Amino acid sequence: MKTKEQKYNEYVKKVTPTSNTWLNMFHAFWMGGLICVIGQFITNTFLKYGLEKEAAGKWTLVIIIGITVLLTGFNIFSKLAKLAGAGVLVPITGFANSIAASAIEYKKEGQVFGIGCKIFTIAGPVILYGILISWVLGLAAFVLMKMGVITI
């Protein structure tokens, strides 16, 4: 007669999905590499047309974040994440996806109570407060410069 623990272990083994670790690592590797190749292509294109290296890097991040948000909005990013796992979730694309997904999920509840409140759930506070504080500090610096108190 089997004990409760043996029955439980057999049940867990039966219902636990199996995965091929090597195949998962392969998909994460090529997808993460593809993101890097696309990013490098964008950066090289900006450099080719005369943008400075630092500015080219910043614009590359903006474009990659924008692409990720679009892919999240069209429900494509979740399929890529299911296939490649950490290959797409670890870089900045995962961060952008987490913010966009939380906003999109609660869109039906309205602009204020849906998107406005639920964007705080995951990574939204970092972006929201970062933008708000930079706007406030920029406005303060502008006013102080106009008053002649500071020079930048």
Q: Helices 53-73 & 92-105, crossing angle to 10 degrees?
A: 40
Residue 88 is which amino acid?
A: V
Q: What's the pLDDT tens digit per position in 38-75?
A: 999 999 999 999 999 999 999 999 999 899 989 988 98
**pLDDT at residue 108 greater than cutoff 70:** no
Q: What is the pTM of this model?
A: 0.64
Q: Determine the average pLDDT of the residues in 9-29.
A: 88
Do 73 and 102 form a contact (C-beta atoms < 8 A)? no
Please give the share of the chain, as a percent, with pLDDT higher than 70: 84
What pLDDT score does 64 carry?
93
Whole-number Cα distances in Å, 82 to 15, 25, 76, 85, 108: 19, 12, 10, 6, 25
What pLDDT score does 30 carry?
93
Q: Determine the average pLDDT of the residues in 117-140.
A: 77
Say which residues have a Cβ less than 8 Å from residue 136's Cβ, sequence separation at least 6: none
